[in-house]
Amino acid sequence: MDINFEYYKTFYYVAKYKNLTRAAAAMGSNQPNVTRVMKLLEDGLKCKLLVREARGITLTEEGERLYAHVEIAFLQLQKAQEEIRTQILEGTGTVEIGATESALHLFLLNALREYREICPKVRIKIHNHTTPDILKSLVYGKLDFAVITTPFELSGQLTYKKLISFQEILVCGSQYRELGYGRRKLEELKEYPWVGIGTGTATTELYKEFFYRQNVNIEPDTEVATSDLLVPMIRANMGIGFVPEKMAQPWLETRQLVRILLECEPPEREVRLVYDSGRGRSAASEGLQKYLGNLPAFEPFSNAD
């Protein structure tokens, strides 16, 4: 079957809205024409893509598979069209960035605040997900680039540039202040309550490996979804836990947090800029990427309350 982009455009809107009338309205067409085009597409592909039900349209397994590809292609075309319309206006465009919580607070927020003063017309969209989800979106072309923390593994044409290094330290609240005296072995701390990031993150896997190498089994008693919640929970004496040193520094100075020195510190980590070296970039994306790559380390974004 020869590719007819109008057929796939029609399919995209039908699959998106799950309604023939809404799809027709979105395209400035009419329902009979949408129905006709979908019939032609199904005949050409020799499979059924849609099922009409009382509550609307549902996709068959083949339809779901096709939509996964068509959605990516259509969004890329929309983005290219937008860039072409705005490329004559210097300093405009949209940049979509994937970022983890730690990367946001340790580097990206302050960097973007400075960049906004230089290029106020550039639109920036931040997608805050786990590292695996961000990398998947980057591979699928849904993001221009990502700013994430190690560890992670790259595949295909993805590559990275180091932005900053950072160290995580073990801290506690005032209730466990006695732990701040002398150096401690992890073994003697396993009976204390711990606060950590929930499962499914790169940070979780990093500390599982770290504890394994130290021959100690430690599971968090309290789990939080994002790293910016660690410091408030530890300050509230919910337990002890690892946090980036720069994020802990303001609370260490006011003695609301106490550092627990260890005989074996966790490995140094990095914030990295990750991008697809095989994909073309808009002027706005390339400009922001170069700006971030040439910045010195920033002070952390403050979460003081």
Check which CATH number belongs to the domain holding 43 and give it. Answer: 1.10.10.10
- Regarding whether 191 and 146 lie in a shared domain, the answer is no
How far from 69 is each of 27, 63, 98, 291, CA to CA, in Å? 20, 10, 20, 32
Residue 305 included in any domain: no
Q: What is the DSSP string of 195-234?
A: EEEPSSSHHHHHHHHHHHHTT-----SEEESSGGGHHHHH
Would you place residue 6 in the very low, low, confident or very high pLDDT band (cuts 50, 70, 90)? confident
- Amino acid (1-letter code) at residue 126: I
How far is C-alpha 106 from the chain's CA centre? 15
The reported pLDDT for the residue numbered 86 is: 55
The reported pLDDT for the residue numbered 24 is: 87
Residue linked to tokens 């996964």: 68
CA distance 261 to 26: 61
Spatial neighbors of 178 by CB under 8 A, at least 6 apart, are: none
pLDDT tens digit string along 260-297? 999 888 888 999 999 998 887 788 888 888 888 876 54
Q: What is the CA radius of gyration of the chain?
A: 25
In what helix (H) or strand (E) does residue 149 lie, and over which residues does it extend? strand 145-149
- Regarding whether 251 and 119 lie in a shared domain, the answer is no
- Measure the N-to-C terminal CA separation of the chain; round to a whole number of Å: 61
Specify the pTM: 0.64
pLDDT tens digit string along 202-233? 788 888 888 888 899 888 899 888 788 899 99
Q: Identify the domain containing residue 133 by its residue range.
A: 89-165+270-293
Query: Three-class SS of residue 30?
Result: coil
CA distance 100 to 149: 7
Total domains in the fold of the chain: 3
Could you say which of 85, 105, 130 is where a domain stops? 85
Q: Which residues pair with 244 in a beta bridge?
A: 168
pLDDT tens digit string along 230-258? 999 999 999 999 999 988 988 999 999 99
- Amino acid (1-letter code) at residue 85: R
> What number of CA atoms fall less than 13 Å from residue 100's CA on the CB side?
28
The reported pLDDT for the residue numbered 54 is: 76
pLDDT tens digit string along 79-88? 766 665 555 3
- Regarding whether 80 and 10 lie in a shared domain, the answer is yes
**Mean pLDDT within 54-58:** 83
The reported pLDDT for the residue numbered 90 is: 52
Residue 80 included in any domain: yes
Residue 299 included in any domain: no
